[in-house]
Structures are given as C-alpha cells and as structure tokens.
Copies of this chain bind each other. A is one copy, B any other.
Amino acid sequence: MKIRIGILGYGNLGRGVECAIKQNPDMELAAVFTRRDPKTVSILTPGVPVCLVSEAEKWTDKIDVMILCGGSATDLPVQTPAYAKLFNVVDSFDTHAHIPEHFARVDAAAKESGKLGIISVGWDPGLFSLNRMYANAVLPDGKDYTFWGKGVSQGHSDAIRRVEGVKDAKQYTIPVESALEAVRGGQAPDLTTREKHTRECFVVLEEGADAAKVEAAIKTMPDYFADYDTTVHFISEEELKRDHSGIPHGGFVLRSGHTGWDGQTKHVIEYSLKLESNPEFTSSVIVAYARAAYRLAKEGQSGCRTVFDIAPAYLSALSGEELRKTML
C-alpha cells in the first residue's frame, strides 16, 4: 500500500510536491485542497480530486500525510497547528526567528491529536540546517558561513514591486566569489553583510516613471538593499519574461574549523546547492520528509519534529540493509 499524500495549497510549492510524488513509487497523491474554486484549479495528476480546503476534515482516513504548501507569513502559523489536529503534517515554515514558537504550537496540537508534524522542511531551513548542525558537532572549534544564491529572492522582488513607478521586477542575490574563496581557503574571515552578497535587480518601469528616482529608492531601501552593493538594470516587460521567469536558487554552507591538541590543524566542510527551481527542490525535500512522518507516526510517535530529530534512514525508500550495502 502506498503512502497517501494530501496537498494543501496549490501554488508553485504545491505543484512541486505533486511532481515529486510522481518520482517516488511508494507514494500517491490522494487529493489537493485549495481556497480557490476547485473548478478553476487544474492539476497535473489524472484522476485526483481537487477539493475545497473546508472539506479537508472529511479526508482524515484517506490521507496519511498532509503537506501544507502555504506561506510562512500568514498561512502556516495558523494552518500547521490546525491541521496537526487532524493529520500527520509537513510544512516548510521558513521564518527562522519564529521557529521556536511555531514548533511549540505544532507540538502541542500534534501531541493532543496523537499525530506527527515535521516543520521547517526544505533547504534553508532544512538541508542547510542539517549541514550547519553536523559540521558544528564534528568541528566544535570553528566558524559558520552561509551564502545564498545565485538565486531569486521573492521577498526582495516583491519589495521592488512596491516602489512607485515599478511595473514588475526580479531580484537576484549573488554571493561574493572572493568572500567564498577566502572562507574555502580556511582564512575564517569576519564578513560584513556587504562583503558576503551583492543584489542585482531587473526592473520594468511604468510608463513615464523616473528611472533615476526608482533606482535611488531601491538602493537606499532599508533592510532590503541599503546594506548591499546593489545593481539596477531597467529592461522591457518582454525581456523580463524571456530571461527572468525562472526561479533558480541555491547557496553554500561552510564551516571552517580546527582540530589537534593545540588546534593547529585546519579543515573546511562545504555544502552547496545549485537549483534550477527553488520550489521544485524544496518540494522534493518535503516529500522525503513526508515519508519519515508516515513512518514515525506508524511507530506510534507524535508531536513536532524538525530535520534535527529524524534519523536519515527514515527519508529513504530503501531498507536499512539496502542502504548499508549501497550507500554506506
């Protein structure tokens, strides 16, 4: 019997989850839940129902794991604790500063219902967090670095779109190669925000907008751009569509540390991702953890978990024996 997955929220992430399920023969998509009129939502998998979110509670015995594909700002803080009362759930809550309180709420809900919830799954938080943690455990005397990009930042693109005179925009976060090289070389530099990343913006102006004014407004925007070296390119709507419609991302997690009786020996651990589609890759991580949620729940476990709490073997369709034989 396959693991029956529900998808709640059918945007880029939901569609990514749908595609990832297709790649995992031990899983099947049971249903998609949406806040929109289900008749207006067409999904990729033939024969799978699209339902209103309000019907989800009728599906508790037909879904093993519900994957919550809403946003971290307003959806997941409410949805994950709510659905953890009905289903085993996995989310990709990524507001790092609010993870502890989100964890507490999901944990309470899931313990009450006897369900299992896994939060903050993806690549950061997620695979990057794992690599930070493993590297810290192995090299207690060291220094961490996380670089993001090259990739599209949705939040920064949105911020540009809110500037007066901007019709559309896409922002790329780009790691500074020389900073990365210094870290790789084991120099353990202290790096300011400006020294780690640059920001490159592709902007389509509204008709008659003042380019110089828009550029200044972007470059001086606090939090988003003021602390970075920012480049602004004005392009046409066609160019934006043609050259910048992808959602690539990625990044680097490094730890540079010392061992030896006097800490005289240097080591560098590096993990990196080069992703053509941020939501599709995030979805693939989520689906692997949905397998873990299913198995942990089957063992009778309940409450909230993060990637730190889950033994790697739970993610794999292979048995322990197969894993030891082929991957150890």
Residues of A within 8 A of B (CB): 16, 18-20, 22-24, 44, 96, 99-100, 103, 120, 125, 127, 129-134, 136-141, 184, 186, 259-261, 263, 265-277, 280-281, 283-285, 288, 291, 306-313, 315-317, 320-321, 323-325, 327-328
Other A-B pairs, 20, CB within 8 Å; known A20-B259, A267-B281, A308-B316 = A19-B261, A23-B140, A23-B141, A23-B259, A24-B140, A120-B328, A127-B138, A130-B134, A130-B312, A133-B312, A133-B327, A134-B312, A260-B280, A265-B276, A267-B274, A269-B272, A271-B272, A306-B323, A308-B320, A309-B313
Q: Which residues of B contact A100 (CB under 8 A)?
A: 321, 324-325
Given A259-B20, A259-B23, also A99-B328 (CB < 8 A): yes
A115 to chain B, nearest CB (A): 19
Verify B269–A273 contact, CB threshold 8 A.
yes
Q: How many copies of this chain sit in the oligomeric assembly?
A: 2
Q: Which residues of B contact A327 (CB under 8 A)?
A: 129, 132-133, 136, 308
Which of B133, B186, B277, B284 is in CB contact (< 8 Å) with A138? B284
Verify B184–A274 contact, CB threshold 8 A.
yes
**C-alpha spacing A111/B320, complex, angstroms:** 17
Q: List 16 A-B contacts (CB under 8 A).
A: A23-B263, A132-B327, A133-B312, A133-B315, A133-B316, A134-B315, A138-B285, A138-B315, A265-B277, A266-B276, A267-B280, A270-B273, A271-B272, A308-B311, A308-B316, A309-B320
**C-alpha spacing A277/B313, complex, angstroms:** 29
Given A23-B140, A259-B284, A260-B19, also A328-B127 (CB < 8 A): no
Nearest 7 A/B pairs, CB to CB: A137-B315, A308-B313, A259-B280, A137-B288, A268-B274, A129-B328, A265-B277
Which residue on B lies nearest to A22, using beta carbons? Answer: B261
Which residue on B lies nearest to A93, using beta carbons? Answer: B328
Most chain B beta-carbon contacts within 10 A, residue among A139, A266, A311 = A311
Which of B16, B134, B261, B283 is in CB contact (< 8 Å) with A127? B134
Given A267-B275, A272-B270, A308-B323, also A139-B284 (CB < 8 A): yes
Q: Which residues of B contact A186 (CB under 8 A)?
A: 274
Verify B271–A271 contact, CB threshold 8 A.
yes
Q: Which residues of B contact A130 (CB under 8 A)?
A: 134, 312
Q: Which residues of B contact A310 (CB under 8 A)?
A: 311-312
Q: Which residues of B contact A313 (CB under 8 A)?
A: 133, 308-309
A20 to chain B, nearest CB (A): 7
Q: Which residues of B contact A184 (CB under 8 A)?
A: 274
Q: Which residues of B contact A24 (CB under 8 A)?
A: 140
Verify B324–A306 contact, CB threshold 8 A.
yes
Verify A268–B259 contact, CB threshold 8 A.
no
